[in-house]
Structure 1
Amino acid sequence: MTIHREGFPSIAISAVLFIIINLLSFAFISAAVPFLAWVIFAVTLFLLLFMISFFRIPNRKLTVDAGAVICPADGKVVVIEETDEVEYYKDRRIQVSIFMSPANVHVNRNPISGEVLYNQYHKGKYLVAWHPKSSTENERHSVVLANDKTTILVKQIAGALAKRIVNYLHVGQKVEQGRELGFIKFGSRVDVLLPLGTKINVQIGQTVQGGVTVLATV
């Protein structure tokens, strides 16, 4: 396991706060109320360890398959439905949405190899990530990837806690399946919009792994 580069500033700040809070706690509280000082220590240690865990990158054997669309994120499948895609394709698409809780790995990965045709950031609201309107009204970053087999739109969507979406791609870039697409901080959702007729390999409620689980075959 390694720590994602996006986490270094947040972890450093958390570590400094952990040290300061506990130095003050044991200097001014422990003598009078030792139990409270240890509670503060336990809570702040938990928060520091959570911060480290949030930015983890586990060691995995990534799936590489030209005939497959791989899940771009860890989490739970919360939506599989046909929808009108109005941002880029302007046609009917199959939408598969993956909800990422704060406990999930938050690295986002390219579902396919190909070329970036579209890359656009949208300001928006911070509705809870499972809200039906979060796909179109929340802050989000949309990317269209295409190859000779398929073309898909991937949306990184902010949730009620997610306040920063990071996207590493640009239009015209050639990308590889499983490589990093971006990162979302603190709870979020990723939508994948696929052509009608695409065979979906996941089910509602299924727990998936980014870069590993086959979402669909093309």
Structure 2
Amino acid sequence: MEATRNRHMSLLDTAALVLARPHRAGLPFIVAPALAGFALGLVWHGFLWLGLLGAAFSAFFFRDPDRAVPLRPGLILAPADGRVVSIAAAVPPAELGLGPEPRTRVATFLSVLDVHVNRAPAAARVRRIAYRPGAFLNAALDKASEENERNAIALELADGRTLAVVQIAGLIARRIVCEVREGQSLRAGERIGLIRFGSRVDLYLPEGVAPLVAVGQRMVAGETVVADLLSTEPARIAETI
């Protein structure tokens, strides 16, 4: 009985995720193919189904589900859904002015099947936003952090420490949406923007802070704890079994 109830709950959770309301940035991508399908469907009914299929995919891609955000002070949360593809020491983008010292960078790759709405990793003030045009390499590649189009956001915590979230365009992405402004105060887990159609998000932790996630791990924006400023636990490692 318990297993059956858990299975039903899992199916309900999956349905809620798939049918979540779309982000407003996706509305043109939903409405346009639907209208085109109806118009061209007068010529050939196959166009109607193609238009509806395109609208359905866009609604799925731009879905924006609510998240249960843990609020304990000191927690650093995942800014994006997806898979951790790299954890390495790296210097934050120079345009943010965070200094030349390397920090731990947690890179998350988002496939077209992931939720693409990005969220604030902690309660913080937006210290600086810097957009830089660039290439559109495969976002899973490490060099995408340096060469791809990106929008970098420096955040200042209440204790003065800083971290950074970098939205990086992917192989087919051509539009980064940033919904915050410099000087704005953010809540942990608050929506900060999205990247259209495949992308990557890099999180630069405060200096000396170890990550509590590992390469290959799945992330849930606004829910997965990436690091804990109050913890002395060493960086984690993982094994695929």
TM-score (norm 2): 0.80
Contact 1:110 1:176 in 2 (8 A): yes
Give, in whole Å, the separation in 2 of the partners of 1:202 and 1:162: 26
Question: Residue 81 of structure 2: which of 64, 74, 81 is its match?
Answer: 74
The alignment partner of 1:186 has SS state of: coil
**1:51 aligns to 2:41 (yes or no):** no
Larger relative contact order (C-alpha < 8 A, sep ≥ 6)? 1
Tell me the equivalent position of 2:113: 103
Amino acid aligned to 1:96? V
Question: Residue 218 of structure 2: which of 179, 201, 207 is its match?
Answer: 207
Give, in whole Å, the separation in 2 of the partners of 1:201 and 1:24: 56
Give, in whole Å, the separation in 2 of the partners of 1:172 and 1:147: 12
Give, in whole Å, the separation in 2 of the partners of 1:185 and 1:148: 31
Tell me the equivalent position of 2:181: 170
Q: Structure 1 residues 16-25 or 130-139, which shifts more? A: 16-25
**1:65 aligns to 2:84 (yes or no):** no
Give, in whole Å, the separation in 2 of the partners of 1:213 and 1:85: 22
Give, in whole Å, the separation in 1 of the partners of 2:180 and 2:65: 22
Give, in whole Å, the separation in 2 of the partners of 1:9 and 1:60: 24
Question: Residue 180 of structure 1: which of 185, 191, 212 is its match?
Answer: 191
Give, in whole Å, the separation in 1 of the partners of 2:93 and 2:37: 46
For structure 1, list consecutive stretches of 5 or more residues without a partner in the other structure. 27-36
Question: Residue 135 of structure 2: which of 120, 125, 139 is its match?
Answer: 125
The alignment partner of 1:13 has SS state of: helix
TM-score (norm 1): 0.88
Give, in whole Å, the separation in 1 of the partners of 2:183 and 2:67: 28
Give, in whole Å, the separation in 1 of the partners of 2:114 and 2:92: 27
Deviation of residue 180 (structure 1)? Answer: 1.1
Identity %: 36
Tell me the equivalent position of 2:30: 11
Amino acid aligned to 2:141? H
Amino acid aligned to 1:213? T
Deviation of residue 16 (structure 1)? Answer: 1.1
Deviation of residue 109 (structure 1)? Answer: 0.5
Deviation of residue 43 (structure 1)? Answer: 4.9
Give, in whole Å, the separation in 2 of the partners of 1:208 and 1:214: 9
Contact 1:14 1:51 in 2 (8 A): no
For structure 2, list consecutive stretches of 5 or more residues without a partner in the other structure. 1-19, 230-241
Tell me the equivalent position of 2:41: 22
Moved over 4 A (4+): 40-44
The alignment partner of 1:210 has SS state of: coil
Deviation of residue 86 (structure 1)? Answer: 4.9
Question: Residue 217 of structure 1: which of 228, 235, 240 is its match?
Answer: 228
Tell me the equivalent position of 2:169: 158
Give, in whole Å, the separation in 2 of the partners of 1:21 and 1:196: 56
**1:139 aligns to 2:146 (yes or no):** no
Q: Alignment RMSD, CA only?
A: 1.7
The alignment partner of 1:50 has SS state of: helix
The alignment partner of 1:200 has SS state of: coil
Contact 1:18 1:48 in 2 (8 A): no
The alignment partner of 1:82 has SS state of: strand
The alignment partner of 1:81 has SS state of: strand
- Shift in CA distance, 131/124, structure 1 to aligned 2, threshold 3 Å: same
Amino acid aligned to 1:99? F
Give, in whole Å, the separation in 2 of the partners of 1:130 and 1:169: 25
Give, in whole Å, the separation in 2 of the partners of 1:58 and 1:13: 23
Q: How many residues align?
A: 206
Structure number with higher strand proportion = 1
Question: Residue 191 of structure 1: which of 202, 218, 221 is its match?
Answer: 202
Amino acid aligned to 2:110? M
Deviation of residue 190 (structure 1)? Answer: 0.3
Amino acid aligned to 2:170? G
Give, in whole Å, the separation in 1 of the partners of 2:185 and 2:148: 28
